[in-house]
């Protein structure tokens, strides 16, 4: 099953490599990973998307907890949560296709953020599946030149929060 594990990490040199190393060392696969400082600049927040069953997930959470630099670990997918991913998609846009690409972007509420005479770069935010669907839809009408995705960020809904 796909899960998102959110982690609060001391913003120390080498701290991220301990997290990434743990995954490769113990044979857990990372689907996506985001890292950025939080409102408290001494802390970074990671969102790690993994495919894992219950027992592996339990081990991942416990092993992450053992890392000295980690303050908090939470599986935000176990309850209501919000998740978003940002993608920038560069596509070929010439002739009749130019208008069709624009329409497709509008339908998915994407924004064209860069234009040349034969290219569009479209920005798109949303759950990962929506971005998958968008890229697939574009691929049907034109040539997708390049895709850059941010990986998933997430938060629990409602009162629940992850604080140091």
Partner 1 sequence: MEKLSGASMIVRSLIDEGVSHIFGYPGGSVLDIYDALHKIAGVEHILVRHEQAAVHMADGYARATGKVGVVLVTSGPGATNAITGIATAYMDSIPMVVLSGQVPSSLIGNDAFQECDMIGISRPVVKHSFLVKNPAEIPEIVKKAFYIASTGRPGPVVIDLPKDCLNPELLHDYVYPESVKMRSYNPTTTGHKGQIRRGLQALLAAKKPVLYVGGGAIISECDKQILSLAEQLNIPVISTLMGLGAFPGSHKQSLGMLGMHGTYEANTAMHNCDLIFGIGVRFDDRTTNNVEKYCPNATILHIDIDPASISKTVRVDIPIVGSAENILDSMLELLAESKTSNDTEALEQWWQDINQWREKKCLEFDRNSGRIKPQQVIETLHKLTNGDAYVASDVGQHQMFAALYYSFDKPRRWINSGGLGTMGFGLPAAMGVKMAFPDETVVCVTGDGSIQMNIQELSTALQYDTPVKIINLNNRFLGMVKQWQDMIYSGRHSHSYMDSVPNFAKIAEAYGHVGMTISDPAELETKLAEALAMKDRLVFVDISVDETEHVYPMLIRGGAMNEMWLSKTEKS
For binding to partner 1 (CB under 8 A), which residues are involved?
10, 13-14, 17-18, 21, 25, 55, 58-59, 62-63, 65-66, 68-71, 164
Q: In terms of CB distance, is 70 or 135 closer to partner 1?
A: 70
Task: Decide: helix, strand or coil at residue 76.
Answer: helix
* Minimum distance of partner 1 from residue 70's CB (angstroms): 6
Q: In terms of CB distance, is 14 or 95 closer to partner 1?
A: 14
* Minimum distance of partner 1 from residue 2's CB (angstroms): 22
CA distance 157 to 42: 24
* Minimum distance of partner 1 from residue 12's CB (angstroms): 9
Q: In terms of CB distance, is 55 or 117 closer to partner 1?
A: 55
- Checking 24-27 for CB contacts under 8 A at 24+ apart, the result is 26/59, 26/60, 26/63
Q: In terms of CB distance, is 50 or 105 closer to partner 1?
A: 50
Q: What is the DSSP string of 91-144?
A: EE--THHHHHHHHHHHHTT-EEEEE-SSEEEEEEEE-HHHHHHHHHHHHHHS-E
């Amino acid at each position: 099953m796909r899960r998102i594990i959110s982690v609060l990490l001391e913003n120390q040199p080498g701290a991220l490599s301990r997290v990434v190393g743990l995954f490769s060392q113990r044979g857990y696969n990372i689907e996506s990973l985001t890292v950025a400082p939080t409102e408290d600049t001494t802390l970074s927040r990671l969102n790690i998307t993994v495919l894992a069953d219950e027992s592996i997930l339990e081990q991942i959470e416990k092993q992450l907890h053992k890392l000295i630099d980690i303050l908090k670990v939470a599986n935000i997918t176990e309850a209501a949560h919000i998740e978003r991913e940002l993608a920038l998609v560069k596509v070929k846009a010439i002739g009749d296709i130019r208008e069709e690409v624009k329409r497709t972007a509008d339908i998915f509420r994407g924004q064209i953020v860069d234009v040349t005479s034969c290219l569009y770069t479209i920005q798109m935010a949303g759950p990962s599946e929506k971005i998958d669907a968008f890229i697939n839809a574009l691929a049907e009408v034109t040539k997708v030149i390049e895709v850059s995705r941010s990986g998933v960020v997430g938060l629990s809904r409602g009162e629940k929060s992850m604080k140091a």
